Amino acid sequence: MLARDGSNQDVFYRLTDPTDLYADRATVLAGFITQVPEGSGRQPEPIAPADGFDAVVAFCGKFAD
């Protein structure tokens, strides 16, 4: 894990065995949908692609100086 810029490693850390947390990740990820801007006329879409993911990257923070 790369933890620069002050991330709290007591909160954000890799599980020793993440497979125990969500045995069926595809089912968990299938429950997420996009949030569309109000008034855009777009409809929410599923996050997970039909053929699944090879990997997932999560970011918690802000993209700013």
**Residue 30 structural domain:** 1-65
User: How many domains, in total, are found in the chain?
Assistant: 1
For 16-27, b where at least 16 C-beta lie within 10 A, e where not — what string?
A: eeeeeeeeeeee
d(CA 12, CA 60): 9
pLDDT digits (tens, 9 = 90+) for 2-52: 556 666 777 777 777 666 666 677 777 778 888 899 999 999 988 887 787
Task: Please give the pLDDT value at position 55.
Answer: 74
Sign of CA pseudo-dihedral 43, 48, 49, 55 = positive
pTM of the complete model beyond 0.85 = no
